[in-house]
Chain A
Amino acid sequence: MKVRAIYPIPRNSLVLLLVTVLLALLPHVGRLPVWLPIVICLVVGWRVQVFRERVSFPGKVVRLVAVLISFGGVFAYYGTVLGAEAGVALLILAYSYKLLEMYKERDAFLVVILSYFVVATNYLFDTSLFSTLYTLFVVVVVTASLVGMNQSREGSSPFRALRVALVLSAQSVPLMIILFIFVPRIAPVWNLNVQGGQAQTGLSDSISPGDISSLSRSAELAFTVEFKGGKPEHKDLYWRGVTYSDFDGRTWRRGLRESFNNGVGVLSRDLVRRGEELRYRVIMEPTYRRWLFTLPFASLKLSGVKQVDSLVYVRDEAVSTLFSYDVVSHLEYSYQPGGLPERERVRLTSLPVTDPRTTDRANELWAAARGDVSVYANAILKWFNREPFVYTLNPPELRGDINDAFLFDSRQGFCAHYAGAFVFLMRSVGIPARVVGGYQGGDFHEAGYLVVRQYHAHAWAEIWIESKGWVRVDPTAAVAPERVMSGPEGATTDDSFSLNSPLSPLLFRNIPFVRDIRSKIEYVNYLWSKWVVGYSNKTQMEFLSRWIDGVTPQKMVFILLVCLGLVMLLLAIYILVERGRARVDPIDALYLSFCLKLERQGLVREGGEGVWTFCARACLAFPQLEGELKAITSLYDAIRYGDLSQENKENNRSDDATLSNLKIELRQAVKTLKFVR
């Protein structure tokens, strides 16, 4: 294929551009289908071969076929070509194919602009500090390749381009900060549902033994909590998130009522709050679920969030970005002590007809307890405690009636097993009970906040007792009290709490140094999430109201304009001042300082006096310094007037080196010049 290159791409900057493309694509690689990076490598390789003039550009047919095949490939992988992930994959494909069409300078500019866009799409998936730093680095490189393409063909040097790009980017930083702080945050009208691979972690709509096991080993962050004021004890850290009240024999599910709650809320007559209130802010990582996590009993006022009958909070939209909310909790409370509505009672005691052995045992213990719910519950806990029940994260698969199989055969399980079995035992004698899913515990960071990770995921039970209301019972604590006291690490007696990834933070967790570094990194990440990623409309108001009374969008726009105006004004002053004065060559400045030294001795150089004329005069005045004076003058002569000076185009590298040596010599000579009287 023949190409009529009218404005060919400068070859030097093309190399930089190809490097830029690879750097921009790098963070995406992990998220793309395996074949896509291979395609990218092939395309870049092809372009490199074109650059080396080994092969020519592909023809129209080849390009068309490649586009159609990859379109099909993306569709086959994602099942759609819409949506963020498939869209980004398509964008990346188009972006790399553009390299094979990059004949002219105009095409190269297009690729550069696309590079900025591709870099920006990375934020759809990852907003962590390190990813941001990397992105900024790539932005500098992209800018450098833009600079490189505008350099003259002779004078192009990638390092100079990089330097220019760095200066440009640095200059834009103040503007970026001002815009970041003051531009009013408007919630997006669209909701981009980027799920990614992250849907695997977190609690799910249903809980059937086996689910939480996989979760427990992930050290990914679930949420961080900042306590304002007092901190609760570790044993009180039950982060309620979701309640499961429907059981079909194998799986506990969220009640339909809970899912479609109309948000009537909790009637205050049903609720008694006691004790001190606990204030905290939760900064939640995206879960792509609608529920929020709080300590009981939580008061939370936020638009788009409502409290359902089981006292958990549900948001209208899934939490797909970092989300923070302020909560006031009362750890001592009683809810619905007066009685349950009949419909609720029926719903919370209904069970399928399964697990005969468990039902028998329940009736047996219930009879022994003589109708006292507390006694009955304690009897069950004692049973869990005395019999050889094992807390493990790798329980065997349960067949048939799961509660029977668990309670009488395997006797190995984790929180979900115990909570499920406990609630089943309760309901089978008519006591309203439900399974609660959430997180238990958390790690207090040195900086004072609490980090809750996916391996803190937990399930426990809540039972309703007449005149006491809802009471939390954690059957896991009966089997492995350490789980509640210290977290899942200490709880498992086998090594089931181990790693499923070679880079897991759980690795080396006992080496203090590694722990220390990790906690520092976590702290930085926490601050980043809190102040940068989590900088929402609310935090913005909060932050700004430290300095401004009554933050309104109008005021913010005003401040923004004032700031921008100030920046413009400073720039204008700088430009005007800079224009008004010519720059002094550094060597001239050095020579003038030499003249100043002589001036202090009473010898003033006339304006129109050449350096050698002045030297001759100075030698007469200071004959003892003749050597030094002549040396300085001849160095200045050589640097400023000699054919070594920069503007001499015929100079090579060694001349440059000589020149810089001369400059150093001159600097030294001027510095060491001393007048002895």
Chain B
Amino acid sequence: MTSNHVAEVIAEIGNVLLGKEEQIKLCVACLLAKGHLLIEDLPGMGKTTLAHALAGALGLNYQRIQFTSDMLPSDILGVSIFNSETAAFEFRKGPIFSQLVLADEINRATPKAQSALLEAMEERQVTQDGDCYVLPAPFFVIATQNPSEQMGTYPLPESQLDRFLMRIHLGYPDPAVERELIVGIDRRQLLKSMKSVVDSEQLAKLQQEVASIHLSSAVIDYIQRLVGFSRRESVGLSPRGTLALVAAAKAYALVEGRSHVIPEDVQVVLGPVAGHRVQGAQDITGHAGVNVVQKMLAEVDVVDRALL
């Protein structure tokens, strides 16, 4: 069964990244919903490990781009070089031409380079010298940024944050988990020995399956109440944000092995999906957005009790 595949993927990644099951699920859900992921955390929390493990478990080819302030778009997308043998320009594909791209410290690059990446993420293709180069499918970007070190960074504008389906935090591990890290084998070794659980064809099938997850009107009502609430409280979710919420909830339901969405799915993905979209999201610490989300979760009733 396909849901078994998902469970296997999560178990496989869980072997490498300990104690972060929730984040792994969100991550997989984000991938299944064909969205991109923004991980915001301090260095050394396992962002790269997570991306790497995901690529390994899903059998995706993986590229890492380290963003720096002197980066140019061609460093990401690729460059046309003159081939003297054929006497013609030849496009050399950049690191973005892989199924899973880890864009490390995205806020360190200039807006120009950021835009190049974000445009490619949205279009799923690269246009260079009038030629179009389609990016591989599935195409999944995990971007990371460091929230605490603001010096010399170019924070992503709100409109570009919107391109990421989810923004998650990894957070510190539990003491027990940390102890395991200390005594256990090197995670990097484990990464190398990871075997892929699904191939890209199965992955595409899983992505298709997300669309067929049933979303009942009761849950739609709940989502609309949430969205309405966010719009009353602050600058709320845009329609794209609503669609993102729906897609993420459906994918999360699939990750949970359910054929229909329940409000808990929405609640789990609400923080990652809406946190960087509601007002205050430009605040790199994201606290304002998180506050709105907390309020939404607490105050919007799951069961409509309008009459009572």
Residue of B263, B299, B305 near A592 (CB, 8 A) is: B305
Q: Is the CB of A608 within 8 A of B264?
A: no
Given contacts A608-B297, A610-B262, A610-B263, contact A588 B217 (CB under 8 A): no
Of B216, B303, B304, which is in contact with the most chain A CB atoms at under 10 Å from its CB?
B303
Tell me, yes or no, whether A53 is within 8 Å of chain B by CB.
no
Tell me, yes or no, whether B282 is within 8 Å of chain A by CB.
no
Q: Is the CB of B298 within 8 A of A608?
A: yes
Tell me, yes or no, whether A612 is within 8 Å of chain B by CB.
yes
Cα of A79 to Cα of B300 in the assembled complex, Å: 79
Q: Is the CB of B217 within 8 A of A637?
A: no
Q: Is the CB of A642 within 8 A of B216?
A: yes
Q: Is the CB of A611 within 8 A of B297?
A: no
Tell me, yes or no, whether B301 is within 8 Å of chain A by CB.
yes
Tell me, yes or no, whether A276 is within 8 Å of chain B by CB.
no
Which chain A positions have C-beta within 8 A of B267? 608, 610, 613
Cα of A446 to Cα of B214 in the assembled complex, Å: 68
Q: Is the CB of B304 within 8 A of A641?
A: no
Q: Is the CB of A641 within 8 A of B216?
A: yes
Q: Is the CB of A609 within 8 A of B216?
A: no
Q: Is the CB of B304 within 8 A of A607?
A: no
Of A595, A641, A648, which is in contact with the most chain B CB atoms at under 10 Å from its CB?
A641
Q: Is the CB of A591 within 8 A of B303?
A: yes
Chain B: which residue is nearest A584 at the CB level? B307
Residue of B216, B261, B303, B307 near A611 (CB, 8 A) is: B303
Q: How many residues of B contact A (CB 8 A)?
A: 25
1/0 contact string of B270-308 vs chain A (CB within 8 Å): 000000000000000000000000001111111111111
Q: Is the CB of B218 within 8 A of A611?
A: no
Q: Is the CB of B308 within 8 A of A608?
A: no
Q: Name B248-275 residues within 8 Å CB distance of A.
A: 259-264, 267
Tell me, yes or no, whether A154 is within 8 Å of chain B by CB.
no
Q: How many residues of A contact B (CB 8 A)?
A: 26
Cα of A674 to Cα of B263 in the assembled complex, Å: 27
Given contacts A642-B216, A647-B216, contact A637 B262 (CB under 8 A): yes
Given contacts A584-B307, A641-B260, A641-B262, contact A608 B302 (CB under 8 A): yes
Q: Is the CB of A592 within 8 A of B298?
A: no
Q: Is the CB of A642 within 8 A of B305?
A: no
Cα of A346 to Cα of B305 in the assembled complex, Å: 96
Tell me, yes or no, whether B113 is within 8 Å of chain A by CB.
no
Least distance between B215 CB and chain A CB atoms (Å): 9
Cα of A583 to Cα of B264 in the assembled complex, Å: 23
Residue of B264, B300, B308 near A584 (CB, 8 A) is: B308
Q: Name A595-651 residues within 8 Å CB distance of B.
A: 595, 606-613, 637, 640-643, 645, 647-648
Cα of A640 to Cα of B219 in the assembled complex, Å: 8
Cα of A643 to Cα of B218 in the assembled complex, Å: 11
Q: Is the CB of A642 within 8 A of B260?
A: yes
Q: Name B96-143 residues within 8 Å CB distance of A.
A: none
Which chain A positions have C-beta within 8 A of B300? 607-608
Given contacts A581-B307, A640-B216, contact A609 B302 (CB under 8 A): yes
Q: Is the CB of A648 within 8 A of B214?
A: yes
Q: Is the CB of A582 within 8 A of B304?
A: yes
Which chain A positions have C-beta within 8 A of B308? 584, 592
Which chain A positions have C-beta within 8 A of B214? 641-643, 645, 648
Q: Is the CB of B298 within 8 A of A588?
A: no
Which chain A positions have C-beta within 8 A of B260? 641-643
Q: Is the CB of B264 within 8 A of A588?
A: no
Q: Is the CB of A584 within 8 A of B306?
A: yes
Cα of A542 to Cα of B134 in the assembled complex, Å: 92
Chain B: which residue is nearest A646 at the CB level? B217
Least distance between A537 CB and chain B CB atoms (Å): 49
Q: Name A644-663 residues within 8 Å CB distance of B.
A: 645, 647-648
Cα of A144 to Cα of B91 in the assembled complex, Å: 71
Least distance between A645 CB and chain B CB atoms (Å): 5
Least distance between A45 CB and chain B CB atoms (Å): 46
Which chain B positions have C-beta within 8 A of A582? 304, 306-307
Which chain A positions have C-beta within 8 A of B261? 641
Least distance between B210 CB and chain A CB atoms (Å): 14
Tell me, yes or no, whether A342 is within 8 Å of chain B by CB.
no
Q: Is the CB of A611 within 8 A of B219?
A: no
Which chain B positions have C-beta within 8 A of A645? 214, 216-218
Chain B: which residue is nearest A588 at the CB level? B303
Tell me, yes or no, whether A585 is within 8 Å of chain B by CB.
yes
Chain B: which residue is nearest A583 at the CB level? B307
Q: Is the CB of B218 within 8 A of A584?
A: no
Residue of A584, A610, A643 near B259 (CB, 8 A) is: A643
Cα of A70 to Cα of B304 in the assembled complex, Å: 64
Q: Is the CB of B263 within 8 A of A611?
A: yes
Cα of A560 to Cα of B126 in the assembled complex, Å: 77
Chain A: which residue is nearest B306 at the CB level? A582
Cα of A581 to Cα of B216 in the assembled complex, Å: 21
Least distance between A14 CB and chain B CB atoms (Å): 32
Chain A: which residue is nearest B267 at the CB level? A610
Chain A: which residue is nearest B220 at the CB level? A647
Residue of B219, B296, B303, B306 near A581 (CB, 8 A) is: B306
Least distance between A585 CB and chain B CB atoms (Å): 7
Q: Is the CB of A608 within 8 A of B307?
A: no
Which chain A positions have C-beta within 8 A of B302? 607-611
Which chain A positions have C-beta within 8 A of B262? 610-612, 637, 641
Residue of B217, B263, B301, B303 near A647 (CB, 8 A) is: B217
Cα of A613 to Cα of B299 in the assembled complex, Å: 15
Which chain A positions have C-beta within 8 A of B298? 606-608
Which chain A positions have C-beta within 8 A of B264? 610-613
1/0 contact string of A565-591 vs chain B (CB within 8 Å): 000000000000000011111001101
Which chain B positions have C-beta within 8 A of A647? 216-217
Which chain B positions have C-beta within 8 A of A584? 304-308
Cα of A637 to Cα of B300 in the assembled complex, Å: 18
Least distance between A667 CB and chain B CB atoms (Å): 16
Cα of A648 to Cα of B217 in the assembled complex, Å: 9
- Nearest first, the 5 closest Cβ-Cβ pairs linking A and B are A643-B214, A610-B264, A582-B306, A584-B307, A607-B301
Known contacts A592-B308, A613-B267; can you find 12 more A-B pairs with CB under 8 A?
Answer: A584-B304, A584-B306, A585-B218, A589-B307, A595-B303, A607-B299, A608-B302, A611-B263, A612-B262, A641-B260, A641-B263, A642-B259
What are 11 A-B contacts defined by CB distance under 8 Å? A582-B304, A588-B218, A606-B298, A607-B302, A608-B301, A612-B264, A613-B264, A637-B262, A641-B218, A641-B260, A643-B259
